[in-house]
């Protein structure tokens, strides 16, 4: 077995972790203690030098798992539903024939594409190009819509550009005051914690805002246990104190922002006394945080999904950005705002064409100049490009409604990750053609007509963009097993089968990157000055990088923001109700989130023994007050019921959660899939579903 594994290794087997947005460097080598391979942290990558978390240390387990699909598989759904092995040529020919038949009857938009935030920049780019050039369809989106879309929309509105973090991680230790809202960094980005701990060691104050006591809140000086849905109410209280006590940075506001008068009016009614009545957060705590952050010489605000995955997620995020702007804490050392990206390439994945309304470089697909530029790079007429499509969940709804009759899924498992997922299951069963490219038969792939074996992180060379906006090169560390193929080859070969192969001729993945860089030239996310050669020499370059001699841009907004007048926008936020407020029938709030040892829909980590044994099933967390209210006994479970369904879970009683809030992690499918219950209401701007707020009733089960 060991010799067989060694034949898969390249000469210099280094790579980057396939999980979170830190993208820590790792090295793969023969194990001295076992018959297999082992992973060690890389001493060379500057982001998390010589550090890996438990997921990174076990990242090879799913790559070498016995369940991995190694041959193209086909079947007709019905009974019996058995897979049969087919050749790649037969698979491509049949898929192309079915697509062309459907498009001849219903038009090009009958085909949809669903991508992922863990794909390389090159594959993300190719998937967008494939949809618009090979399929000529407008319907593409990706699972990053569920992750970063609210933060992206808010950053674009406030700053004129969306790069998750406006500063590099190395600025965190220079901050004297840090506000972490709706983010559990210790479990979701563990190797980011040393940056926070270094800041704390140097005297920084850390504030966490979360309905649960988490591993992150344990290092905080102040923890605000806020019920989901009250973020903007709470932040208006902080802003009110800053304005009334004249703690704002007047010069910065006057010279570098617009909208302050509207903000002042919006926060005027939100006195600390009133905010305490509305949220339960003590007036003294509100004043302490407001004064502390405003008076600190440097400060950073970090947000994540806790406040973003709501129907008011964009406005919540804008309000947290307001904190940084009115105190002048942005564009200089030790200051900034950061939306902590979740997925491996959540940043790069949304820059280059997977989003429904975007072309590479963050260009809008309905902008005539953007269409002309990208069409020229692609060698087509701008009129051939389709218009914008719809968001990820709306794409799935269009399947249910019958408008989309075929779907190609690459790098995602929407049946588990989508809200109200019984609708998604119903929709998938209606498809005339479902093609899934994956390493495993996921819950989504159970409904596929074709399951094509793609590549793992260890086998696919390419570039990634981490949460800082740092673009780096991930080299190939292992050979492909069996008859699996690289994702980028699958896309190009399917384009060829569709008669559009002339537009997808590449000598290798570096050729794809060169074209990507050209397509981004002049765009907001400008990669045109980046090359593979530079990336290998410099260990990463921060975009924008518009020329070969440009050093990249680690720190954004030193002199101007990306709006035409160079100024940032402040917004006066009027807090709104969630889509589904609690009532007498459903009196408690369900919120969802991650665990340290799992990732996304669990496709990889549920197949990693060392990780899965720590959390083999999801457990609902409830407060002792709620446990007493429902008469919970020692061996009881709980039934959670929303307007969409009912599920039974093991239960953990803990004082570390807001009393009227129930928390359940989302890494499982089938009878353990919490997204059976979650609400599919969407933020009106970002189209992000409201995963974090769902009205439920809670009952004990004998």
**Structure confidence at residue 383 (pLDDT):** 97
Q: How far is CA 658 from the centre of its chain?
A: 25
Interatomic CA distance for residues 41 and 52, integer angstroms: 6
Tokens, residue 108: 């090009």
**Structure confidence at residue 105 (pLDDT):** 98
Which string of b and e fits 91-123 if b means at least 16 CB within 10 Å? bbebbbebbeebbeebebbbbbbbbbbbbbbbb
Helix intervals (H) in 175-230: 185-188, 193-201
Per-residue confidence band for 7, with pLDDT thresholds at 50, 70 and 90: low
Catalogue the long-range contacts made by 608-614 (C-beta closer than 8 Å, 24 or more residues apart). Answer: 608/55, 608/58, 608/61, 608/62, 609/61, 610/54, 610/58, 610/61, 611/54, 611/55, 611/58, 611/61
Under 8 Å between Cβ of 218 and 185: no
Interatomic CA distance for residues 119 and 661, integer angstroms: 34
**Structure confidence at residue 539 (pLDDT):** 87
Average confidence (pLDDT) over 580-595: 96
**Structure confidence at residue 79 (pLDDT):** 56
**Pairing state of beta strands 363-364 and 358-359?**
antiparallel
Share the mean pLDDT of the chain: 95
Rg, C-alpha atoms of the chain: 24
Which string of b and e fits 506-527 if b means at least 16 CB within 10 Å? beebbebbebbbbbbbebbbbb
Instruction: Please state the pTM of the whole predicted model.
Output: 0.96
Under 8 Å between Cβ of 550 and 528: no
**Does the pLDDT value for residue 605 go beyond 70?**
yes
Interatomic CA distance for residues 269 and 62, integer angstroms: 53
Interatomic CA distance for residues 462 and 476, integer angstroms: 8
Per residue in 309-352, pLDDT tens? 999 999 999 999 999 999 999 999 999 999 999 899 999 999 99
**Structure confidence at residue 22 (pLDDT):** 94
CATH class for the domain made up of 73-146+345-542: alpha beta
Interatomic CA distance for residues 135 and 100, integer angstroms: 9
**Does the pLDDT value for residue 392 go beyond 90?**
yes
Per-residue confidence band for 95, with pLDDT thresholds at 50, 70 and 90: very high
Tokens, residue 643: 């307007």
Under 8 Å between Cβ of 297 and 138: no
Tokens, residue 535: 């990336």
Interatomic CA distance for residues 650 and 94, integer angstroms: 45
**Structure confidence at residue 533 (pLDDT):** 96
Per residue in 181-193, pLDDT tens? 999 999 999 999 9
Closest among 394, 430, 396, 415 to 673, alpha carbons compared: 415
Interatomic CA distance for residues 154 and 317, integer angstroms: 6
Interatomic CA distance for residues 371 and 367, integer angstroms: 6
Q: How far is CA 173 from the centre of its chain?
A: 25
Interatomic CA distance for residues 133 and 380, integer angstroms: 8
Interatomic CA distance for residues 649 and 565, integer angstroms: 53
**Structure confidence at residue 13 (pLDDT):** 84
Please give the DSSP secondary-structure letter assigned to residue 316. H
**Structure confidence at residue 9 (pLDDT):** 64
Question: Per the CATH hierarchy, to which homologous superfamily does domain 149-339 belong?
Answer: Dimethylsulfoxide Reductase, domain 2 (3.40.228.10)
Under 8 Å between Cβ of 18 and 466: no
Beta-carbon count within 10 A of 671 CB: 10
Per-residue confidence band for 702, with pLDDT thresholds at 50, 70 and 90: confident
Helix intervals (H) in 328-385: 346-349, 368-378
**Pairing state of beta strands 14-16 and 541-542?**
unpaired
**Does the pLDDT value for residue 34 go beyond 90?**
no
Closest among 520, 430, 536 to 476, alpha carbons compared: 536
Average confidence (pLDDT) over 42-57: 92
Over pLDDT 90: what percentage of the chain?
93
Average confidence (pLDDT) over 618-642: 96
Q: How far is CA 131 from the centre of its chain?
A: 21
Per-residue confidence band for 1, with pLDDT thresholds at 50, 70 and 90: very low
**Does the pLDDT value for residue 4 go beyond 60?**
no
Interatomic CA distance for residues 287 and 241, integer angstroms: 7
β partners of residue 658 = none
**Does the pLDDT value for residue 57 go beyond 60?**
yes
Interatomic CA distance for residues 350 and 157, integer angstroms: 16
β partners of residue 462 = 474
**Does the pLDDT value for residue 3 go beyond 50?**
no
Q: Classify the C-alpha dihedral 591-596-599-603 as positive or negative.
A: negative
What element of type H or E holds 438?
strand 433-438
CATH level 2 (architecture), domain 588-701: Beta Barrel (2.40)
Average confidence (pLDDT) over 539-547: 96
Q: Which residues contact 313 (CB under 8 A, 6 or more apart)?
A: 150, 307, 683, 686, 688, 690
3-state secondary structure of 183: coil
**Does the pLDDT value for residue 256 go beyond 70?**
yes
Closest among 204, 152, 174 to 554, alpha carbons compared: 174
Tokens, residue 386: 């389709």
Tokens, residue 193: 């914690």
**Structure confidence at residue 2 (pLDDT):** 42
**Structure confidence at residue 32 (pLDDT):** 72
Interatomic CA distance for residues 258 and 267, integer angstroms: 16
Average confidence (pLDDT) over 533-556: 95
Under 8 Å between Cβ of 298 and 333: yes
E strands, 123-182, in order: 140-142, 177-181
Could you state, in order of their start, the residue ranges of all structural domains in the chain? 73-146+345-542, 149-339, 588-701
């Amino acid at each position: 077995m060991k010799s067989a594994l060694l034949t898969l290794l390249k000469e210099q087997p280094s790579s980057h972790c396939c999980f979170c947005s830190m993208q820590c460097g790792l090295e793969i080598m023969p194990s001295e203690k076992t018959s297999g391979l082992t992973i060690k942290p890389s001493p060379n990558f500057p982001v998390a030098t010589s550090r890996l978390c438990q997921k990174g240390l076990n990242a090879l387990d799913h790559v070498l798992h016995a369940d991995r699909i190694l041959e193209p598989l086909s079947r007709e759904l019905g009974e019996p539903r058995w897979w049969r092995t087919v050749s790649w040529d037969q698979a491509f020919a049949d898929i192309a024939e079915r697509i062309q038949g459907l498009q001849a009857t219903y038009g090009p938009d009958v085909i949809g594409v669903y991508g992922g935030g863990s794909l390389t920049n090159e594959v993300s780019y190719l998937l967008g190009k494939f949809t618009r050039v090979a399929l000529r369809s407008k319907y593409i989106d990706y699972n990053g819509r569920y992750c970063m879309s609210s933060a992206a929309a808010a950053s674009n509105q406030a700053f004129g550009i969306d790069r998750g973090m406006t500063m590099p991680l190395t600025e965190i230790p220079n901050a004297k005051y840090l506000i972490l809202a709706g983010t559990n960094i210790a479990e979701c980005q563990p190797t980011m914690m040393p940056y926070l701990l270094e800041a704390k060691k140097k005297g920084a104050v850390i504030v966490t805002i979360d309905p649960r006591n988490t591993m992150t809140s344990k290092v905080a000086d102040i923890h605000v246990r806020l019920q989901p849905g009250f973020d903007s109410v709470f932040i208006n209280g902080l802003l009110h104190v800053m304005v009334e006590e004249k703690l704002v940075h007047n010069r910065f506001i006057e010279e570098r922002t617009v909208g302050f008068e509207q903000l002042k009016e919006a926060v005027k009614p939100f006195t600390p006394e009133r905010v305490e009545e509305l949220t339960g957060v003590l007036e003294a705590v509100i004043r302490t945080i407001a004064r502390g952050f405003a008076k600190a010489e440097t400060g950073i605000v970090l947000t994540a999904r806790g406040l973003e995955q709501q129907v008011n997620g964009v406005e919540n995020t804008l309000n947290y950005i307001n904190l940084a702007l009115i105190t002048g804490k942005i564009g200089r050392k030790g200051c900034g705002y950061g939306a902590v990206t979740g997925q491996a390439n959540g940043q790069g994945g949304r820059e280059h064409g997977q989003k429904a309304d975007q072309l590479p470089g963050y260009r809008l697909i309905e902008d005539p100049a953007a269409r002309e530029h990208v069409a020229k790079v692609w060698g087509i007429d701008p009129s051939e490009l389709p218009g914008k499509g719809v968001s990820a969940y709306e794409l799935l709804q269009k399947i249910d409604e019958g408008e989309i009759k075929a779907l190609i899924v690459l790098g995602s498992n929407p049946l588990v990750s989508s809200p109200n997922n019984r609708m998604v299951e119903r929709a998938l069963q209606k498809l005339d053609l479902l093609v899934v490219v994956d390493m495993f038969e996921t819950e989504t792939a159970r409904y596929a007509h074709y399951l094509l074996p793609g590549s793992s992180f260890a086998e696919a060379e390419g570039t990634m963009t981490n949460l800082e906006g740092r673009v780096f090169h991930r080299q190939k560390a292992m050979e492909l097993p069996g008859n699996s193929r690289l994702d980028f080859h699958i896309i190009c070969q399917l384009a060829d089968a569709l008669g559009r192969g002339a537009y997808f001729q590449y000598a290798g993945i570096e050729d794809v990157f060169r074209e990507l860089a050209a397509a981004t030239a002049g765009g907001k996310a400008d990669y045109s000055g980046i090359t593979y050669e530079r990336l290998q020499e410099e260990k990463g370059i921060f975009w924008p990088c518009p020329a070969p001699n440009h050093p990249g841009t680690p720190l954004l907004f030193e002199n101007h923001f990306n709006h035409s007048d160079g100024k940032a926008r402040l917004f006066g936020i009027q807090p709104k109700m969630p889509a589904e407020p609690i009532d007498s029938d459903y009196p408690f709030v369900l919120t969802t989130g991650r665990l340290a040892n799992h990732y996304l829909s669990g496709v990889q980590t549920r197949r990693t023994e060392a990780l899965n044994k720590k959390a083999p099933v999801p457990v609902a967390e409830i407060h002792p007050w709620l446990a007493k209210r429902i008469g919970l006994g020692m061996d009881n479970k709980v039934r959670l019921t929303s307007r969409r369904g009912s599920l039974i879970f093991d239960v953990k009683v803990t004082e570390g959660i807001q009393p009227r809030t129930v928390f359940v992690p989302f890494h499982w499918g089938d009878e353990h899939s919490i997204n059976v219950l979650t609400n599919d209401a969407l933020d009106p701007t970002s189209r992000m579903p409201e995963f974090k707020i769902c009205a439920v009733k809670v009952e004990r089960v004998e």
